[in-house]
Structure 1
Amino acid sequence: MKGDYITTYTKLSFSPLDPKPEDIRIADIAHALSLMTRANGHFKWFYSVAQHSINCALEAQAMGCDRKVQLACLLHDASEAYLSDITRPVKKHLPSYLEIENKLQGTIHQVYGRSPTDAEHAVVKQIDDTMLWHEFFVLMDERVYEPKPIIHSRPDFSERPFRDVENQFLWLFNSLSREGKTHKCVGIDGTKGGWIAACIKADAVSIQLYRTIHELCAEYSDADSILIDIPIGLPESDTDIRPDNMLRNHLKGKASSVFNTPCRQAVYAADYEGANATNKAVMGKGLSKQSFAICEKIEEVDAFLQSNPAWKNRLVESHPEYGFAILNVGAPVLESKKEQAGVSARISLLRPQIADLDGLLTKVSGDAAVKNRLHDILDALCLAVIGELGITHGFCTLPDLPPTDSKGLKMQIVGSKVE
């Protein structure tokens, strides 16, 4: 705490007394509420404000309420992420607190749509009271009033890991916020024998293997965003500056995942010896075998873009580890994606963004074309998610003003803002 500010989960200095719309972040709300207990911790086990909010939103859904009311239910206690939860008997005697709470809650509604109408607010209040009754009945063996209110859903009052609740809160928020939006976002990762493409359109997600980039782009010619993990915009002299070092600076502890991009002349060389010698002559440094290993893929994309100018600066470069860092509130995922801990960490970051991710991964594990390619699938899914976030919240690039190479291709790494 410093002055009239609190430091949020995403490291913002936030003033609860003077909230700014640009400082409201759903990641802060979901995280804080998932760690904040209901009933001042007097329930039989840990049951969070976030879990209560999820149950309220699902009750609204079961009642047939529209998505705006469901979202209002999910966010009805969002101000508590910045103010904490105060029990009802005390809160009603704190007029200043109520004034602060109403102002903050109004700012949150301003950021995420609009304030509920009086009729909608009455429905949210009714659902909130109904859920409170059933929470106290299950978790305290107490009937807080009579008669017992009817409930239409099957709320989950079990003790759950806070991270699972946080992820569900974020997924539900993302799902409800996508009303009317049908963006088609594609992420691409190179794999043995071709390219893995993950396509997200609303809540529908598909994973496909394509032999060539030409075939893939023909399939997704109507995509709103199409990001690929392969260098685009190639240097031809040591004065052409790629953003590779900038990306490494964003991936502290994970910089080794960023390979040096070979010069265009080396990309088209016939073998490693020739590529290494060419890169040394043009760029003043040799070429690692890791970088050479992806030259065939770089060449395929570079040749495609030169022969298909309509795709120039439309098929754009990104990087999965940069994407996962964005989803992880700016912190790189340090665990290796080749280890189970790294796989689990990446799946955890994708789960709030993708409907039934676990079901999708189970399904593709039985698809002969793409099974045993989990790392490539997760990378492609990450880039599709970054594209969707970019369309919703805005794209960003490394650097801010990308230079172009001799073929007019931007030398950039594309990312997204989160809020």
Structure 2
Amino acid sequence: MSASPGPDTVPLAGVDGCRAGWIALARAPGEERPRLLVRARFADLVHDLGADAVIAVDMPIGLPDRIVGPGRGPEQAVRRYLGARQSSVFSIPARAAVEAETYAEACALAERLSDPPKRVSKQAFFLFPKILEIDRLLRAEPDARERIIECHPEFAFCRLNGMVPMATPKKIRGSVNPDGITERVALLARHGLPPELFREGPPRGAAMDDLVDAAVNLVIAGRHLRGLTAPFPDPPLRDRFGIPVAIHG
């Protein structure tokens, strides 16, 4: 993407999956304060954000037909930077496994199409419907592939923190960790997002960590528009439909 447009000329959005579907923090040109959106379907969210919006979303984009190593290339590329936070990067299997209808079928396909053979984690399997929402949209709309980018919040925080991973986890045993949220909100404040955005908590259907992740993704969207992000791996791989396979940060 060209670095010539400024962040005040193009809509920006950071998006994360949530219980209700999708949560976004979005900023239109001229807006000082980002606004919150929650939509059940990714396609509806993209439509509402506008045809030229730059969207950074925490969801795997691009599905290789075979996996060599622990996950897709992007997962292998960023995991090494995250220290104790690297467990937040799930390994996503081959396309056929993501498209499977049952967990058993997904595991069988993932084992057959990976080297070394590896089954699917339950956490990753629950992401598959959302992964496929984005996949269907990008297959149908090739022009959207340069403005809808994959990011990963923990890697994004690491990048914004001078390549130092966050000291505390966002969650402990499945529950939101207040210290982890506080650490991330403070870092977001240094990058232009005021703490007031988080004081009312998340909207219905989303959790506090979803809101914080959408916020850091918004920062990444702005940096991407200004040409300040890099793909991991670089250059990006592409799947058989030509969709880029890279985490941007």
* Whole-angstrom distance in 2 between the partners of 1:300 and 1:281: 24
1:219 aligns with 2:48: yes
* Match among 203, 215, 220 for residue 381 of structure 1: 215
* Whole-angstrom distance in 2 between the partners of 1:223 and 1:363: 30
Alignment of 1:20-419 (within 5 A): 181-201=8-28, 202-238=31-67, 242-283=73-114, 284-338=117-171, 339-355=177-193, 357-363=194-200, 365=202, 367=203, 369=204, 373-392=207-226, 394-415=228-249
* Whole-angstrom distance in 1 between the partners of 2:218 and 2:54: 8
Kept in 2: contact 1:207–1:364 (CA 8 A):
no
* Whole-angstrom distance in 2 between the partners of 1:294 and 1:377: 18
DSSP 3-state at the match of 2:221: helix
Aligned residue type for 1:373: A
Aligned-pair identity in percent equals 30
Kept in 2: contact 1:183–1:388 (CA 8 A):
no
Deviations 1:78-118 (A, max 9, x none): xxxxxxxxxxxxxxxxxxxxxxxxxxxxxxxxxxxxxxxxx
Kept in 1: contact 2:7–2:226 (CA 8 A):
no
Question: How large is the Cα RMSD of the aligned pairs?
Answer: 2.1
Report the alpha carbon displacement of residue 345 of structure 1 after superposing the two structures with TM: 0.3
Kept in 1: contact 2:73–2:233 (CA 8 A):
no
Aligned residue type for 1:410: P
Q: TM-score, normalised by structure 2?
A: 0.86
Aligned residue type for 1:220: L
Report the alpha carbon displacement of residue 239 of structure 1 after superposing the two structures with TM: 5.7
Q: Which has the higher helix share?
A: 1
Aligned residue type for 1:189: D
Report the alpha carbon displacement of residue 394 of structure 1 after superposing the two structures with TM: 2.0
* Whole-angstrom distance in 1 between the partners of 2:140 and 2:18: 23
Kept in 2: contact 1:313–1:409 (CA 8 A):
no
Unaligned 5+ runs, structure 1: 1-178
Kept in 2: contact 1:200–1:385 (CA 8 A):
no
* Whole-angstrom distance in 2 between the partners of 1:244 and 1:218: 28
Report the alpha carbon displacement of residue 223 of structure 1 after superposing the two structures with TM: 4.2
DSSP 3-state at the match of 2:230: strand
| Higher RCO by CA contacts (8 Å cutoff, separation 6 or greater) | 2
Q: Which has the higher strand share?
A: 2
Report the alpha carbon displacement of residue 308 of structure 1 after superposing the two structures with TM: 2.5
DSSP 3-state at the match of 2:67: coil
* Whole-angstrom distance in 2 between the partners of 1:301 and 1:182: 25
- Give the count of matched residue pairs: 233
Which protein has the larger Cα radius of gyration, Structure 1 or Structure 2?
1
Which structure 1 residue ranges, 4+ long, deviate > 4 Å from structure 2?
none
